[in-house]
Structure 1
């Protein structure tokens, strides 16, 4: 049975779908942490210093580099996946009480909020390479992805908006970033490779020294970068010509096919070109392409969306494989450009975390994050293959003692909502950061700190403060 036929059959017969998902999760659990290569299609990379190493002295740790899995695994002799998607007209979320808070006037940040900003600034400054204008994705690891470049641009603009960096310096640094983006080697001359050296600006990772200049591109990563290039144009119109030069040089049309996003992966001398992105991540990244004139109607997405109930709250899940479902895309979209209510699940996701705290007393914020221990990166899912609150490695293996509180998403929730739970999230982020010069990733289920220092955590802290300071309004006007 083909992948498309199987998906249609499962869509019609929900009882078999439940069994199929359960069996898939069972067999996936046997996957090795290290067996990430064949399971990936269009993910970004995140790494961290090894557990036990000083987080402030890490220079060249034995890092692992894992990527977001949001597309079908590569199978030898498999047919290309031409499945496409569409946004549902309505997302039913049940009876929810939480409301996204807005203010009419700018908000003066507190002393502790400024303290968090200084800690995040420390990461950005320490991990910036002035020769290339790129930032390390993880402290001590001189590589980056387009997703992480977006985080670096975001953090730099936030520091300027918060009065922590002079406009002239911001212009100088981001001009260097744009120069690198407009000149570095592209994968097969079309789009950015997934990974680049922050020291040289050259492709890194697998096949980086080959004629292909790497092993493919991630449409999700590029989409996020496009969002922040548009915001950069808003904040610094004088840099708009440089941005236009970049988007003209890159063949963005290669990442858009059949009304949805496609990624490329070169594996064992064969290039795989497949649909990339699942519910949430897909719509978030697609917005970047839309900002530069591309249409993405997702013609078949509704066929793969299913409504399930967790703790009495309805959420939409994606019935296709590797359906990672974290809070990240909803928090990012709400802060960066105000997400479309037709697909955003920000409120039900926040309500789920809030109810979990009310019922158990445990404060959580589930998100994707780098880790300070094996497997070094985790997808902490709201729902994954039939199970709520499930943390897995990029290969799908369940993680023991997972991270349950993400500082970046916890802080994002705290600036988007204003109630007792949002304040508790803020206090957790503040408390877990006290002993660090930068903001660590979060907290594990046993209460230990996830001491991974990475750009995405520290960037979202700064952008969240920027969002709050401008009256809790999205960054993109």
Structure 2
């Protein structure tokens, strides 16, 4: 049975391994010592920064479907998923903060999203489908044809985090957020021993599979923790291995991909989200300082991911800001890995094939590193990417490492990522612990309307 949250401060335990990661009390602390005074960029946006944000919002404005209020994940392609919905909600919070929209438009847009969440059909009647049409709100496959194709616990975890952020910024909508989430059966998403599970549906048959990899599992686990569900195995970094690049130890997923069918790239995105949204703190920490971090393990892992990218520039003079991104042709989506399949600086498709010629200096990653690490290197990155946009369509995915050419695909993730970076600059860390009695608490406390769905024991 899923357990309730009692203590989160000691979830991670590291065994002796490598030079840096020798244990919580020595290796991680020693690693962090040089970073104790690290500080990001904070304060009201400049005129130039507001223009950057306005360009990103242009994408959202262009790709909003009036019939549903949903936003396309890719420019002019009418589908979304739960992670894309999270991206849109972050963009919406930023648009209100920067006064690109009125309070009335914010209310209308958010109400349409929450109405969709409360009425949308669920995969197998249990949890959100992997893909939905933004034109009519029904379940579709990746080709935008009607189909129940299963679910992703990682996408749901990302959405849970952002819904919690929306609650703190707009508490008047808490009831409607809780009602939507209470429809979902968490038994299908988190196993009894605390692992995250997705599923594929073929010809009506459900095929569950273990989902995630080191980094993204720890990040998305925060969404379940907010609902007092502890995915213990997903939130534990073991098993892990260590690779050393430029003298910096990088922790990567220790599961053998030949056995577990897990692609294990180390890339920036989950560590950047952890910083922007949680300041690499434990979920129960409401402090606002960005120079100390109560989850020292995740903070050290994020610093290592940043440092090796800066060191690649210093040692090899290769600008590096690596995330995952779409590309204009096959294979259409890749991970620009810092380390993957035993190889540093490899670009991988979902099937494990390498496509190093597609590596980008990611616009989104550059913006987010720039606000989280105030360094000469991130200033250089911003100089390199700040012209990568179409003023009428939004920010491009990035610049190819090999040639400097633009990757002119335009996505919600990149444009929302720019807005999230700038929202963090103006507001600080985005997630705050809720302290008020909420609709979900009333439901869990009532013996007449207790909702179940593997949530029975979580508040007891």
TM (norm. structure 2) is 0.79
Paired residue for 1:245? Answer: 179
CA shift digits 1:257-300 (9 cap, x unpaired): 11121111123654221221111000111110111121122189
Match of 2:228 among 293, 297, 303: 293
Map of 1:255-270 to 2, 5 A cutoff?
A: 255-257=189-191, 258-267=193-202, 270=205
CA distance in 2, matches of 1:174, 1:260: 31
* Residues 426 and 206 of structure 1: CA distance in aligned 2, closer, same or farther (over 3 Å): closer
Paired residue for 1:78? Answer: none
Paired residue for 2:408? Answer: 451
Q: Which runs of 5+ in 1 are unaligned?
A: 1-85
Map of 1:8-27 to 2, 5 A cutoff?
A: none
Assess if the C-alpha contact under 8 Å between 1:307 and 1:316 holds in 2.
yes
Match of 2:360 among 404, 426, 430: 404
Assess if the C-alpha contact under 8 Å between 1:130 and 1:176 holds in 2.
no
1:102 Cα deviation after fit: 4.7
Assess if the C-alpha contact under 8 Å between 1:88 and 1:343 holds in 2.
no
Paired residue for 1:368? Answer: 324
CA distance in 2, matches of 1:140, 1:373: 16
Is 1:220 aligned to 2:161, yes or no? no
1:385 Cα deviation after fit: 1.1
Is 1:464 aligned to 2:421, yes or no? yes
CA shift digits 1:321-341 (9 cap, x unpaired): 211221000001110122233
SS of the residue aligned with 2:371?
helix
Paired residue for 1:133? Answer: 69
Map of 1:317-332 to 2, 5 A cutoff?
A: 317-320=252-255, 321=257, 322-332=263-273
Paired residue for 2:335? Answer: 379
Q: Which runs of 5+ in 2 are unaligned?
A: 1-10, 15-22, 258-262, 281-294, 433-460
Is 1:429 aligned to 2:394, yes or no? no
CA shift digits 1:210-268 (9 cap, x unpaired): 7xx51110000000000111111111111111001011111123201111211111236
* Residues 100 and 133 of structure 1: CA distance in aligned 2, closer, same or farther (over 3 Å): farther
SS of the residue aligned with 1:128?
coil
Map of 1:62-81 to 2, 5 A cutoff?
A: none
Assess if the C-alpha contact under 8 Å between 1:227 and 1:287 holds in 2.
yes
Paired residue for 1:24? Answer: none
* Residues 172 and 357 of structure 1: CA distance in aligned 2, closer, same or farther (over 3 Å): same
CA distance in 2, matches of 1:173, 1:252: 27
CA distance in 2, matches of 1:207, 1:269: 18
Assess if the C-alpha contact under 8 Å between 1:207 and 1:214 holds in 2.
no
| Runs of 4+ that moved beyond 6 A | 206-210
CA distance in 2, matches of 1:112, 1:356: 29
CA distance in 2, matches of 1:424, 1:299: 36
TM (norm. structure 1) is 0.77
SS of the residue aligned with 1:245?
helix
CA distance in 1, matches of 2:67, 2:47: 34
SS of the residue aligned with 1:137?
coil
Paired residue for 2:53? Answer: 117
Assess if the C-alpha contact under 8 Å between 1:208 and 1:215 holds in 2.
no
Match of 1:202 among 130, 138, 142: 138
Number of aligned residues: 386
CA distance in 1, matches of 2:200, 2:189: 12
SS of the residue aligned with 2:298?
coil
Match of 2:275 among 323, 329, 334: 334
Paired residue for 2:211? Answer: 276
- CA RMSD across the alignment: 2.2
CA distance in 1, matches of 2:391, 2:61: 19
Is 1:307 aligned to 2:247, yes or no? no
CA distance in 2, matches of 1:459, 1:214: 27
CA distance in 2, matches of 1:373, 1:407: 19
Assess if the C-alpha contact under 8 Å between 1:325 and 1:384 holds in 2.
yes
* Residues 219 and 357 of structure 1: CA distance in aligned 2, closer, same or farther (over 3 Å): same
